[in-house]
Amino acid sequence: MIEGSELEDVAIEDLVELVATHDDPLSNEDLIELQNNPIYDEGEQVEEKVSSSREIQNAFSKIYSGLDILHSIDNNDDLVLTVCQTIKTVLGVMNVFYKNLKKNATQKTIDVFFREK
């Protein structure tokens, strides 16, 4: 992944060339170069933080509690109401996304891997 100042070093010509050659088959030299590339070193694994469903639900609960506190401070302020509604809308979308991820992460039946799609 390109981060920070590395993104500024990318030239448009390089991107155009990359897109243009994307469908070309790789030569043996290209494959050897990719294999020897330290970015794809199998020994170095990127550690991903996997949050448990309990942690995510705890975060949602704390956010909703904070919104309730904010709402109770000034129930009539249009700004507070707008902020609360906007955050609740975003959290609703995040919650749907989270539920879909959770549903897709569980295996329904043992034969799901053997069925043709």
Mind listing the pLDDT tens digit for each residue in 5-62? Answer: 555 677 777 777 776 776 777 778 877 887 777 664 455 554 555 567 778 888 888 9
Domains in the chain: boundaries: 53-110
- Residues above pLDDT 70, as percent of the chain: 64
| Rounded Cα distance, 86 and 74, in Å | 16
Of 109, 60, 105, the residue nearest 87 (C-alpha): 60
pTM metric for this prediction: 0.42
Total residues found in the chain within this entry: 117
